[in-house]
Structures are given as structure tokens and as C-alpha cells.
Amino acid sequence: MEKMESIFTDRAWSSGHREEMDRDGHIVLPGLLTADARTRLVEALSHIQSLMPGDEEYKPSHYAAEYNDYLASLIGHPQMRDLVHEVLGEDIRYDHCVSLNRPGGNGGAHWHSHEYGETRPELGFVRIFFYVNGFAPGDGALKVVRGSHLFRDASIDFQSDSALREGWIQDKVHPVTGQPLEIEELSAPEGSVVLMWTHAAHAVTPRRAGSDTRWTVVYAYRNPGLPSRARWLSEAFEERGVPGAEGLLSLY
């Protein structure tokens, strides 16, 4: 196997980061991806894009690492493992790798959250977004609600900001800070990595018609203990394995 190049610049994860993530539900690490990783990710994500829409059962977007060796090589990359251990502790599993490319004119995503261990707070599930070429507010931007993850509600589902405000958000306060819950639109410079607890409410603004493609991929990891609905991983891939990802691919 070729030597693993660094994917992250040497900025360290600090204990403050952990506190911030647990309080807010997400953390933005601006410009964390190396120039080399950004170049290789654009290549890999363009490759996935060229294979779309693909097989209904095994869509290249949902099983991205199964269709591209570079994407697969990051599942167990030492820097990725270190980062996931910082968030989830010792016992970790890979859950999925999904390409989230959004060409100009893409409609974005409505408000939602994801499931895992709603009644088992000791089981964590983290989404690690690589915003390879970043995004600006109002242009394929990630929107969040600080503190929403603490409700561990997997059923958040609203079509607009106003529907979320008048629905789920109404009368809720941040369980830690006591502040009213608020919608916030993020911005992310090129190479940003965003970590998010899976129960956090999030949405994506449409990509402007004249904008270039937003190149993005998400890697998700969890503490084993329950089945996972989003575990897009074929049996063949699990059996074949991935160099460096030993011990990560099994359900338990």
C-alpha cells in the first residue's frame, strides 16, 4: 500500500473542542484538510459524480467508499481514527461514507436529524463532513440549531425555517445554556471539516444556479451497540475489507 499522506493540517483537537461539540452539537474546523487531500477528494468525488445515478440498491453516492479506493483509504486513515477516538472514545465502528456533491442549482436539504440510540445516551454517532471547497452563506450552506442534539430526537422533519421555528423549536430552550433555540447558518472556508452529533437538527440551503459544484463527503462513525439504519455498507465490502480499516467495518 502507498504511504498514507496527511489529510489534516497539524492543528490539534483540544479538550475545548470536545466541550464545544457537546454543548453546540457541532464544531467547525476551518481549513483542516491539506491541499493534497483537497485535490484528491475533488478527483474522487468527481469520479463518484460521473457514476451517478447508478444502481438503485447500491448507489455510488451512498456507498461512495465502495466505488473509489481513495475514499475507502480514508475510513481507517490514522488521522481519521485519532479524530474519531477523540469524539467517541475507544470502541468505534465505521457507519457510512456518502458523497454530498451539490452542483449549481441543487435544491439543498430540508430540516432533519438522524437516528441512533435515542434511549442509549452512552452510544454516540458522529458525522464528519469534509467541505472540500467550502461554502458561503446562502449557497449550499449547512444550517444548524445549537443544542438540538441534546434532545436525541431522530424524527425532526421540516420543510422550511419557519416550519421548524413554529414547530419543533417553539418553547424549547438549550438544555445547558437555557438560551432559546435558534437557527444559524454556517460558513466554511475551503478545506473545512465539520463534526456533528447525529441527532442535531440540520438543513442545507440551495446551491445558487451560477455556482460551481460544492464537493462534499460525509464519513459517519458510531459506538457499536445497536443496528444502524444508515449503515450503507455492502456485505461484499465488509468481507473484502479495507487496508487500515481493520476492526471498523463490522456492525458490533
Ligand X SMILES: O=C(O)CCC(=O)C(=O)O
Which residue ranges make up the site for ligand X (CB under 6 A)? 98, 100, 109, 127, 129, 142, 202, 204, 216, 218
Instruction: Report in angstroms how near the CB of residue 167 gets to ligand X at its nearest.
Output: 18
Q: Which three cell numbers stand for residue 47?
A: 469520479
**Quick one: 8 or 215, whose CB is closer to ligand X?**
215
**Quick one: 130 or 151, whose CB is closer to ligand X?**
130
Instruction: Report in angstroms how near the CB of residue 57 gets to ligand X at its nearest.
Output: 20
CA–CA distance, 11 with 19 (Å, rounded to integer): 17
**Quick one: 78 or 138, whose CB is closer to ligand X?**
138
145-161 burial by CB neighbour count: b if 16+ within 10 A, else e?
Answer: bbbbbbbbbbebebeeb
Instruction: Report in angstroms how near the CB of residue 195 gets to ligand X at its nearest.
Output: 12
- Nearest-CB residue for ligand X: 100
User: Considering only CA atoms, which of 234, 229, 196, 202 is closest in space to residue 22?
Assistant: 196
Is-contact 112 125, C-beta < 8 A? no
CA–CA distance, 103 with 55 (Å, rounded to integer): 20
**Quick one: 16 or 27, whose CB is closer to ligand X?**
27
User: Considering only CA atoms, which of 131, 104, 135 is closest in space to residue 42?
Assistant: 131
DSSP 139: B
Is-contact 63 72, C-beta < 8 A? no
**Quick one: 151 or 232, whose CB is closer to ligand X?**
232
CA–CA distance, 152 with 150 (Å, rounded to integer): 5
Instruction: Report in angstroms how near the CB of residue 149 gets to ligand X at its nearest.
Output: 13
Instruction: Report in angstroms how near the CB of residue 218 gets to ligand X at its nearest.
Output: 4
Amino acid identity for residue 202 in this structure:
H
